[in-house]
Amino acid sequence: MRITPGMSAENAVYNLQQQRNAIDALQEQIGSGFQINRPSDNPLSARQILDMQNQISQGEQYSSNITKATMSLNVMNVALTGMNDVMNQVASVASSMTNGNTNAADRTQAVNNLANLKAQLIDYANSQNGSQYVFGGYAGAPPFDSTGNFSGTDDSIMVDINKGSQVAVNYSGSALLRGGNPPAAVGSGATAGTSPVDVLGSIDALMTAITANNATGISDGFKNIHAAQDQMNAAQTDIAGRLVRLDNMTSMISNSQATLKDVMGNMQNVDYAKAAVQLSQQTTAFNAALSTVAKIGQLSLLDYLR
């Protein structure tokens, strides 16, 4: 096969272009800080990086959801702590009325105290996180009126905290303070102190019994109040469990995000020291090839005949 000067020149130009492209690619990597600047640079790695970026974005959204859910649960936890304190005071008043040695003034004072404590329970039950009533479901207004009637919804408001994993960011106010919707019957006799408990209804019944100095009614009320305390403690335990779950999920997502970013960084980020050495080598090779081609290009037929 006869190799013409034109073929040699074309081959030389092609090799020079390839070396120039390699230099340009290294300069682009150093300038951008990325090994892969377009899918064509490495289609397989580019797809893997896109997948990891999507996972990181999802993780950031889940983390944002967890932060908002934690705020709602903390609001409920604070409210339930306050409710439990109120119920301890209600139990103390009920206990003081069970000895049978009270006078009319004592009973009037006890009823007034219970009325104020009931109002405080309702205030806690109307707690908000932003515009959301945490014990009212999808209610857009306070779920409890001044007498304790519930007008909220019993829906569980669920938030995604990971793929296929959700947590409720509210608690049913009717279940908590009314024993259900409609309210549970106030226990008396054999049913006193049984669950579920209509907490607000039990306080009303206790006030009625104290006003009438009804020893049996006061005794039943005392039992109902203790059952109500257990009901509220169970609710607070539920909220505490959700908070622990969110905390664990936060750690899991954080670890996963760190791993994904580390792997993606290893695939994507440029090793500047290595790239600088490669650029220097490529530049030296390119200049040498350019010089060689220039010298070969000056040869003529007479140079070969000598």
pLDDT category of residue 301 using cuts at 50, 70 and 90: very low
pLDDT category of residue 293 using cuts at 50, 70 and 90: low
pLDDT one-digit tens code per residue, 201-227:
999 999 999 999 999 999 999 999 999
Q: At what angle do helices 215-268 and 199-211 cross, to 10 degrees?
A: 160
Residue in 223, 246, 108, 222 with CA at minimum distance from that of residue 168: 246
pLDDT one-digit tens code per residue, 154-210:
999 999 999 999 999 999 999 999 999 999 999 999 999 999 999 999 999 999 999
**CATH classification code of 54-263:** 1.20.1330.10
User: Which value, in Å, is the radius of gyration of the alpha carbons in the chain?
Assistant: 38
pLDDT category of residue 262 using cuts at 50, 70 and 90: confident
Sign of CA dihedral 170, 173, 174, 180: positive
For the chain, the structural domain boundaries read 54-263
pLDDT one-digit tens code per residue, 120-149:
999 999 999 999 999 999 999 999 999 999
Beta-bridge mates of residue 133: 128
What single DSSP character describes residue 150?
B
Are the beta carbons of 16 and 285 closer than 8 angstroms? no
